[in-house]
Amino acid sequence: MLALILDWLVLIFYFKIAGEIFKSFIESGSIWDGDHLSDVNWVALILFYMPPLVYHALLEITMNGQTIGKKIMGIQVINETGGKASISQLLIRWLLREIWFLIILIIGLSYESSGNKIESALLLLIVVGYFVTDLVLVVSSKKGQRIGDLLAKTILIRVNTKSDIEDTVFQEVADSYVPSYPQIMRLSDRDINAIKGILETARKKGDYAMAENAALKIKSHLAIISPMDPFDFLDVLLKDYNYLSVK
């Protein structure tokens, strides 16, 4: 919520600056070309309204799942399996953002002022329903997902800005330990960190499906056949990596 407020403060600041510039066009009389907006000023009008509309999509795509507000608050959008959210996932989230429903609210209020009360009431009901549903889902869902996250299959995580030895993949492994899956060394350090993060999150939330999904993808990628429980399998992978990486 705080990240969202910060992002809206950024947009309000933008509107303030852009509004002053747009106002100067109007006062100078250059905004009109006869009875119509000139082509140049149509561009100016589009530039005025477009940034707020594409703000979240553009920044989350270019800033690895973060906006200015999210970066300040140390949170990030990732996919449900712990990897980087794809562009299509971020676009789905964007299409179900509050900005579009605020536009619907404005349209509904304009209907109200013009006497179209039924249309206005319907649009207002849609907006209220969206925000209430979003709030209920975030509070009650296991992964704290809103409507856009559920459809895009994304989650919000807190990004650790400070780390110590416990935040790494380091584990104490006995010298007598025998690795079960040497194929683990084909994965990168980033992959191993992702596995550790998924395992810790799945255990904390009791999310068996998350652990199972990650285990199935790893087995498929490394051609591993194992009947082991997903939690135990991921734990063994981390132990194997720790043992083999120092040998």
Tens digits of residue pLDDT in 93-102: 988 887 777 7
CA-closest candidate to residue 142, choices 211, 218, 77, 207: 207
Question: Residue 9 contacts by C-beta under 8 Å, 6 or more apart in sequence?
Answer: none
**What is the reported pLDDT for 89?**
92
CA distance 152 to 96: 10
26 and 140 together in one domain: yes
103 and 122 together in one domain: yes
What is the b/e burial string over 48-83, where b = at least 16 CB atoms within 10 angstroms of the residue's CB? Answer: beeebeebbbebbbeeebbbbbbbebebbbbbbebe
Single out the residue in 105, 127, 158 at which a domain terminates. 158
- For residue 117, count CB atoms less than 10 angstroms from its CB and return exposed for 0-12, middle for 13-18, buried for 19 or more: exposed
Q: Which two tokens stand for residue 25?
A: 């066009």
35 and 53 together in one domain: yes
101 and 35 together in one domain: yes
**What is the reported pLDDT for 163?**
47
136 and 229 together in one domain: no
The share of the chain scoring above pLDDT 90, in percent, equals 24
Full residue range of the structural domain in which residue 93 is found: 2-158
Single out the residue in 158, 184, 207 at which a domain terminates. 158
Confidence of residue 45 (pLDDT cuts 50, 70, 90): low
The string of pLDDT tens digits covering residues 24-41 is: 766 665 555 555 555 556
CA distance 13 to 170: 45
Q: Which two tokens stand for residue 183?
A: 């194929």
DSSP string, 118-184: HHHHHHHHHHHHHHHHHHHHHHHSTT---HHHHHHTEEEEEPPSS--GGGSS-----TT---S-GGG
84 and 56 together in one domain: yes
170 and 127 together in one domain: no
What does the radius of gyration of the chain's CA atoms come to, in whole angstroms? Answer: 25
89 and 113 together in one domain: yes
**What is the reported pLDDT for 164?**
46
- pTM for the complete prediction? 0.58
Q: Which two tokens stand for residue 189?
A: 């350090």
Q: Give the residue, 16 or 161, on which the prediction is more confident.
A: 16
CA distance 26 to 45: 11
The string of pLDDT tens digits covering residues 65-87 is: 999 999 999 999 988 876 788 89
Paired strand residues for 75: 158
Single out the residue in 135, 158, 181 at which a domain terminates. 158
**What is the reported pLDDT for 165?**
40
**How many domains is the chain built from?**
2
25 and 68 together in one domain: yes
Rounded to an integer, the average pLDDT of 143-150 is 86
Average model confidence (pLDDT) across the chain: 82
The string of pLDDT tens digits covering residues 184-238 is: 888 887 788 888 889 989 988 889 999 999 999 999 999 999 999 999 999 999 9
33 and 146 together in one domain: yes
What is the b/e burial string over 232-244, where b = at least 16 CB atoms within 10 angstroms of the residue's CB? Answer: ebbbbbbbbbbbe
27 and 139 together in one domain: yes
Q: Is the pLDDT of residue 246 over 80?
A: no
128 and 172 together in one domain: no
CA distance 110 to 129: 19
